Structures are given as C-alpha cells and as structure tokens.
C-alpha cells in the first residue's frame, strides 16, 4: 500500500515537471535573417509577426548595426504617431533582448529620426497560450485572439511557392531601372545608373565603403543619369561641395531632393552626394563620382580624403576588407533556437525521477 502511494506521488511530480518543461520560453529573432532595419516594404514586420506565436516568458531579440538603429518600447498612441520622445524603455546596444512579461499588445519602434515612419516598427499580441499568433497592426486595438486561430497569411504572389509556412520577405516597389550593371540607352542619350543597384540608397551594415565600391570602375559621362531609390521620409539626396562632403555638413546643400525615385542628370566634373538625414552621412551614406567626357573612369579627389572630426562614422560598420553584399545582415548572428536545450532538460529531469523511484522500490 505504501509503495503504491509513493509511486503515485512520484508519477504526479514527474508529470508536473514535464508540463512545466513543455511550456519553456521561446526566443523570437525579429525579422529573421534580415534583422532590425529600415524595411523595403511597410508591412515587413507585421507580416513577420503574423507567423509567430507569442507567450508570456518568450524573448524578442533585435539584431541591428551599431549606432544606426535602436529599439524603443512605446505605448500604442506613440506607436501609431511614431512619437519617440517618451518611450517606456530604450535599448541601444545590439542584440537588444526584451522578455515578454505580460499578455496583450506590445509596441516597438526604432527611435532614430524617420525610421519608424519608414516602416521600422513592430506590434505583437501576446496570449496566455503558445498557439495565438499576432494580428496585423491597425489604428484601433484588435479583438482578442481565439485559443487556436488561423494566422492571417502574408500577401502572396500570383503563383505562390509550394511551401506550407513561407518566411516573410520585404515587399517593395521595383526600382525604375533595377540593373546590376549599367546598360546603354538608345543612341544619342546617356546611360542610366541605379545607385547601389538592388540595395538602393539606404543604410547598410557596410555603408561606409559600399557606395564608393559601387562607383569604382564605372565610366560616368555628361548626360548619364543617376537614380536614387529610397523610402519616402526615411532618406533624401543632397548635392554638396567637396568640403561639406568630407565633413558631412548638410546645412547649405547645392540642391536637395526628397521625393523618390530621385533622378539626376550628370554634367562634367566632380559631384558629391550625401543623405541629409542627421547621422546618415557620418554612417557612410555618401557618394562621390567624377564625370569625364573621355570615357575613362577617374576617381574623385575626395575619395582619398578621410572625413573630418565633425563626422563620426560608426566603427562597427566599417569592415577591414570592403565587401558588397546583396542583402544587409545584422552585425550579430541570431541566437540558436532553444529546442535542443529544452529536450536535454526534459531527458535529464526524467532520468532523475526514475532514479528516485528505483531507490524507493528497492
């Protein structure tokens, strides 16, 4: 009789431990491999959240380039208006980790000027169980999620790929001339160059060298056209003097354009372009070219002149060997999933309780 009672008690404890282990926290890497950036589509992060199931105790990990982004947790009104003056909390070091400590809606934005309005914002809905994915963010609070809802799928192309759970990807309007190399226009007209090719005019993990590497080797001639593709409100294009280019001084530009896509017809001589949004030029969003009529590529004199002390490009974004990746990646790799650690914990716990049962029986 006593043996049966002991076995029943130990079995109940083992079942309770297994249930607790099965409800262990989950780590969500925001944006997956894209990380926390200015997206090319305004719905990128809401599409990502729609395919996740958030619960209390889960962890959000934001990976981003140092000094180019941050993560502010805000209230709903500040999220809707992209107000960054009074955040609930603010993290500036990557990776930023937030532990979800309550059910309901949680709101996150980038606190850098113009980034939230360009789509760098995230709303999640946390349920008590792990089966409720977050809904699409809206100006009004969404209705509570049922215990087992069907997540709203992200917009799919006309012929969707044959997969059961596609990973969300940024959605954007193709650039006017999406070319990886300049292609000659009809006889008598100039060549159209899309600055940065498919990356466009933006902040990248290696921005400090990316645009000069892009311009290297290209033969710019009078009449050629530069096309700058960027998110409206997140960037602009200012043509400046060489001295202002070197010092990232944008107070008195030669010209300033803020409506994408920006098209500039080139004339002979050296030309210097920067993004006038505070901090973007010093982070490397600048381009210097030399336009000649000979057809021989000549680097502008400014490429050998380092920026003055007024510009402080982030050290973490300047690699020792210049590269030109096709897709921006965060400076810190996402942490590995917790599934293997959870399995080892369950196995160890089960073995411990079986040992106790054997000890009591014999």
Tokens of 185: 């226009």
Structure-token match 């490009």, residue found = 313
* Ranges of residues in the chain whose predicted pLDDT is under 50: 21-22, 130-135, 137-150, 157, 159-187, 302-347, 349
Residue pair 196/179 in contact by the 8 Å Cβ criterion = no
pLDDT at 138: 46
Could you tell me if 248 and 216 are in contact, meaning their C-beta atoms sit under 8 angstroms apart?
Answer: no
Q: Do 220 and 292 meet the contact criterion of CB atoms below 8 Å apart?
A: yes
Question: Which is it for strands 104-109 and 255-257: parallel, antiparallel or unpaired?
Answer: unpaired
Q: Is 237 left (phi over 0), alpha (psi -120 to 50) or beta?
A: beta
Who's near 274: CB < 8 A, 6+ residues apart?
238, 240, 244, 245, 248, 250, 280, 281, 285, 286, 287
């Amino acid at each position: 009789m006593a043996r049966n009672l002991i076995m029943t008690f130990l079995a109940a404890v083992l079942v309770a431990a297994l249930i607790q282990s099965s409800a262990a926290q989950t780590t969500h890497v925001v944006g997956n491999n894209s990380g926390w950036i200015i997206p090319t589509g305004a719905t990128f992060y809401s599409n990502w959240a729609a395919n996740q199931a958030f619960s209390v105790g889960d962890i959000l990990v934001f990976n981003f380039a140092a000094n180019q982004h941050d993560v502010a947790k805000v209230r709903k009104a500040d999220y809707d208006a992209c107000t960054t003056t009074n955040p609930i909390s603010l993290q500036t070091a990557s990776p930023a980790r937030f532990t979800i400590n309550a059910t309901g809606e949680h709101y996150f934005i980038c606190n850098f000027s113009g980034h939230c309005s360009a789509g760098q914002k995230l709303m999640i809905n946390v349920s008590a169980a792990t089966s409720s994915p977050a809904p699409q963010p809206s100006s009004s609070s969404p209705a509570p999620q049922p215990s087992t809802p069907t997540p709203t799928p992200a917009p799919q192309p006309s012929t969707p790929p044959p997969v059961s759970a596609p990973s969300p990807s940024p959605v954007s309007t193709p650039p006017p001339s999406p070319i990886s190399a300049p292609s000659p226009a009809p006889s008598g007209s100039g060549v159209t160059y899309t600055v940065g090719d498919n990356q466009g005019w933006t902040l990248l993990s290696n921005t400090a060298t990316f645009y000069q590497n892009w311009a290297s080797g290209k033969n710019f001639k009078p009449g050629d056209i530069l096309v700058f593709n960027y998110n409206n409100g997140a960037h602009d294009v200012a043509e400046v003097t060489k001295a202002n280019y070197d010092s990232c001084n944008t107070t008195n530009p030669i010209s300033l354009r803020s409506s994408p896509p920006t098209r500039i017809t080139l004339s002979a001589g050296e030309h210097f372009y920067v993004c006038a949004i505070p901090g973007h030029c010093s982070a490397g969003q600048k381009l210097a070219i030399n336009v000649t009529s000979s057809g021989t590529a000549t680097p502008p004199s400014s490429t050998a002149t380092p920026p003055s002390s007024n510009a402080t490009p982030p050290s973490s974004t300047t690699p020792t060997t210049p590269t030109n990746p096709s897709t921006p990646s965060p400076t810190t790799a996402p942490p590995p999933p917790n599934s293997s650690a959870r399995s080892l914990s369950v196995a160890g716990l089960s073995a411990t309780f079986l040992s106790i049962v054997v000890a009591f029986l014999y």
